Structure 1
Amino acid sequence: MNPDSASRSALPAAWQLYTAFFACAVMLGSWYPRIPDVQRFAGLEGWELGFGLAGYPTGTLLLFTFGTRWAAKLSFSQSFRIVVPTLGIALVGATLAGNVASLFACMAAAGALQGVLAVTGNVVADQIEAALDRPVLVRAHGFYSVATVVAGAAGIGFRALDVAPWLHLTIALPVATILVVVATFRVGGQRSVPRTDEYHATIVLPTGPIFMLFLAGGAALYLDNAASDWSGILLRDGYAADATTVTAAVTAWAIGQAAGRLGFPNLSSLFGKERLALILAMIAAMGLALVVFSPAIFVAFVGLFLLGIGTSALFPMAIAAAARIGDRPAATNVSSLSQLAFVAGIATPIVLGGLVQIVGVRWAFASGAVMLAASLAVQILLHPFATPSNADEREARSDRTPQSAGQ
C-alpha cells in the first residue's frame, strides 16, 4: 500500500537518502585503508586480526536477528543523526585497539550500528520508492560505493602525510556528521515503520534452494571481505608496496564496486540477470587471478578493480532470487539467506586471517577461487538467477529488503 499524501510529504527526498548513505560510507571508507596500520600498531598476527575484524559481522548479525523490529521504528533523522557519529566513534576506537579483544568489541559495536542504518535506510527507501513509483535503493548503494572511493582517495593523502589512523578518522568524523545533518534537514521525526512485515526479527533455517543461492552469491561476500579488509595487507606483504600505495588498494576495489552498482540497471537490461551473473563471476575470477599471480603492483590494482566489478551485484541478485523461490513467503527466504550470509561473514575474516598466517596473503586471496568455482557450478547447473514470468512483484519487493551496506 502506498503512503498517503501526508506521509509522502514528510519523507526525505531521494537526494537526502543518497547523502545519508554517502555519509555512512565516509567513515567505513576511511577505516578500510588503515587496517594495515592498525594491525602493525596492535602487533596482531594474521589470525588475531581476523578474529578482531570478525566483530563487525557479529554485531551486524545480532542486530539483524534480534533488533530489526526496533531499528525499523526509528525515524530517518533519529537513526542517521545519532548512529553515524556513534559509528564513527566506534571506528576511531578500533584504530586505537591494542589487542584482539578491544578490536573485536569496537568492530562489534560498529557492525551493530551499521545494521541499524541498513534497516532504517532500506525502510525509508521502500517508502520513497512507493511514493515516487521509481527505484532508488540501487542508486543509494551506488552512492555508498562512491563515498568509499572518495574516502579511500582522501586516505591516500592522509597516509602520504603520515597522519595517524586515529587522527585520520577523527577528521573524517565531523565531515560525515555534517553530511548527515544536511541529509536529515527538515525531515520529519515520524517513525519509519515498514510497509510490510519483512523486518520481523526471527531465526530462519535455510532450505536447499537457499543454500544453493548462498553458494551462487557467496563468492561475492568472501571476496568483498578479502578486498575491503585485506587488500592493503596484500600489497604491503605480497608486493612489498610502500605505505601510500598500500592505502590506495581499497580505492581500486571500491571504484570497481561503484561502477558495477551504478551500471547494474543498464547491464541487467542488456544481458538479463542470469547471463549477467555469469559474466560478473567470470570477471571476478579474472580479477582474482591477476591479484594472486601478477608480478607487478599495477596489474594487482587492475585485478582489485575487476574484483570490485565482479562482486558488485552477485549477492543482491541472490537476495532477489531468494524472494522468487515460492516455497515460503518471500520475506522468510530473504531473511534466511541474509542470516546465512552474516554467519558466513563471521567465519570469513577468521578463515582469511588463518590462511594469511599459514600460507601467506596471496594464497589466502587465492582461496576465493573455491567460492567462485562453486558459484559458477551452481549457476551453470541450476540456473538460480533465472526470472520466472510471474516473479516480477516478488523481485521488486526483494530489492527493498535489508542489506548490510558497505558490502
Structure 2
Amino acid sequence: MGATSVYGRRDIALIRFVFFVQPLILGAWFPRLAEVQQAIGAGEAAFAIALTGMSIGIVGSLVFASRLVARYGLKCVFLASFCAFLSSMPLASLAPTIGWLFAALVLVGASLGAVELGMNVTADAIERRCGRLIMSSCHGFWSSGVLVGSLIGSSFAWIGASPAQSLFSLAIAVALPCLWATWSLPNVAEPDGDNSATPGRLRLTGSLLAICCFLFGMAMTEGAMADWSAIYLRDVFALGPGPSGFGYVLFALFMAMGRFLGDTMRSRLGAGRTARLCVSVAVGGGILLLIAPHAEIALIGFGLAGLGVSTGFPLAITAAAEQDGANPTSNVALVTQIGIAGFIVGPLLIGFIAEPFGIQLGLAAVLPLLGISLAFSGAVRQRSGL
C-alpha cells in the first residue's frame, strides 16, 4: 500500500491480533524461570545478570533496526525478526550454563526489539491513516497476550512438560498465524521511504527529549513493580509464595484495563490531560505502598500503580512518531530504547535503596520518578484530526 492509502477495520484487526499473539510465548517463559534457574544451578545474583541479556539485546537491536528498515523496508525486517524471535525464544530454555543463557537471551532480545519496533510503527501508521485511536488498545492486547501466555506456561508446568517442550510447542502453534498476520499487514515504511527526514536518521529535538523523560519515569516504575512486588509483600507483610504474587497480578490486570480504556480517555480528554491523570493515579498507588498498614491496602496500591502507568508507553510512542519533519521509525526506536532502559534501571535503583533502608522505602522511590513523568506529561500532544 502506498503512503496515501487509507486503512480500515481489517488492518486494525490484524495489528491487534499481532499485538496479542506475539507475547504469548514471552508470557509462557516467565512462569518457567525458576525451573530454568534450577536446571542451570545458578544463584540468584548470577541468574539475574543472565536475565539482563534480553534487555541488552533489545536496546542493542534498536540502534540498527531503523537503518535496516530504511534499507529493506519495514515488512521485510518485521517478518525476519519475527522468525528469529519464535526460533530463539525456545532455545533459551535449553541453555546449559549461565553464559549460554545470557547469550541466548541477547539473541532473543535483539529479535524482539525489531519485532516491537515493527508493531509500534505499523500501529501508529494505521491509527494515523484510519482516523481511529488504536495505539493504547493495541498495547492492551499485548498485556493480555502476556497474561494468557503466563497461564499457558503455568498449565504446561502443571502437566509436567519441561520449559523447552512448552515453549517449542507454543512457538509451533503460533508461528503460522503470527507470520500470516504480519505478512497481511500494510507495508507502512518502504525501503528509502518518503519521510521528510533522512530515512533511518534520528533528529534529536527538545520535544523528543521531553517525551523520553516522560516515559523514563513511567518505565522505571513498571520495571520496579514487576521485579519487587512479590518481595515487598513477602518482606513487609510476611505473605507466602502464592499470595505474594497477587501484587503483580493486580498490577498487570489493571495495566491491561488501563490500556484498553486509554484510547477512549485520549479522545475525550486529550493526550496531555490523560497523561497527567494517569501519572497522578500512579503516584496515589505509590503513596499507598509507602504507608500501607495491611496487605489489602498494598494490593490496592499495586492496582492503582498499574492503572496509572498503563498509558505511558502508548502515549509516548504516538507522540514520538508524529514529530514534525522527523523519521517515525527512528523516533519510535529511540523511545523504545528509553523505555527498556527505564525498565532495567528501575529495579536496580530500588534494590540499592532497599538494601540499607528496607523494601517499603525502596519501592517508594518510584514517587520522585513519577514526579519526573508528571513534569514532562505535557510533552505528549494530541494528534490533530483524531
TM-score normalised by L of structure 2: 0.78
Count how many residue pairs are aligned between Structure 1 and Structure 2.
Answer: 375
Indicate whether 1:67 and 2:54 are aligned: no
What is the alpha-carbon distance in structure 1 between the residues aligned to residue 236 and residue 345 of structure 2?
23
Q: Which deviates more from structure 2 when the two are superposed, residues 80-89 or residues 310-319?
A: 80-89
State the match for 2:170 in structure 1: 175
8 A Cα contact 1:33 1:247, kept in partner: no
Q: CA 1:199–1:36 in 2, change beyond 3 Å: closer, same or farther?
A: farther
Q: CA 1:203–1:57 in 2, change beyond 3 Å: closer, same or farther?
A: farther
Unpaired runs of 5+ residues, structure 1, are 397-407
8 A Cα contact 1:216 1:374, kept in partner: yes
Q: Which deviates more from structure 2 when the two are superposed, residues 29-38 or residues 105-114?
A: 29-38
Q: Deviations over 1:327-379 (max 9, x none)?
A: x6363655554444444444344334434444443333221111112222344
Cα shift at 1:255: 0.9
Q: Which deviates more from structure 2 when the two are superposed, residues 314-323 or residues 187-196?
A: 187-196
Q: CA 1:84–1:293 in 2, change beyond 3 Å: closer, same or farther?
A: farther
State the match for 2:224 in structure 1: 226
What is the alpha-carbon distance in structure 1 between the residues aligned to residue 31 and residue 357 of structure 2?
23
Question: Helix, strand or coil: the match of 1:241?
Answer: coil
264, 267, 280: which is aligned to 2:265?
267
Q: CA 1:354–1:103 in 2, change beyond 3 Å: closer, same or farther?
A: farther
Indicate whether 1:279 and 2:265 are aligned: no
Counterpart residue type for residue 176 of structure 2: V
Cα shift at 1:386: 4.9
8 A Cα contact 1:148 1:251, kept in partner: no
Indicate whether 1:87 and 2:89 are aligned: yes
Cα shift at 1:325: 5.9
What is the alpha-carbon distance in structure 2 between the residues aligned to residue 377 and residue 188 of structure 1?
40
215, 218, 224: which is aligned to 1:217?
215
189, 196, 209: which is aligned to 1:194?
189
8 A Cα contact 2:91 2:104, kept in partner: no
8 A Cα contact 1:54 1:349, kept in partner: no
What is the alpha-carbon distance in structure 2 between the residues aligned to residue 245 and residue 199 of structure 1?
52
8 A Cα contact 1:49 1:353, kept in partner: no
State the match for 1:297 in structure 2: 295
State the match for 2:240 in structure 1: 242
State the match for 2:27 in structure 1: 29
Cα shift at 1:14: 4.1
What is the alpha-carbon distance in structure 2 between the residues aligned to residue 211 and residue 258 of structure 1?
27
Describe how 1:31-46 pairs up with structure 2 within 5 A.
31-33=29-31, 42-45=42-45
Counterpart residue type for residue 182 of structure 1: P
Question: Helix, strand or coil: the match of 2:242?
Answer: helix
What is the alpha-carbon distance in structure 2 between the residues aligned to residue 324 and residue 13 of structure 1?
20
Unpaired runs of 5+ residues, structure 2, are none
Identical-pair percentage:
25
Describe how 1:382-397 pairs up with structure 2 within 5 A.
383-387=378-382, 392=384
8 A Cα contact 1:210 1:322, kept in partner: yes
Cα shift at 1:235: 3.3
What is the alpha-carbon distance in structure 2 between the residues aligned to residue 346 and residue 333 of structure 1?
20
Q: Which deviates more from structure 2 when the two are superposed, residues 173-182 or residues 264-273?
A: 173-182
8 A Cα contact 1:32 1:228, kept in partner: no
Q: Deviations over 1:232-260 (max 9, x none)?
A: 33334444332233444432222111111
What is the alpha-carbon distance in structure 2 between the residues aligned to residue 121 and residue 333 of structure 1?
14
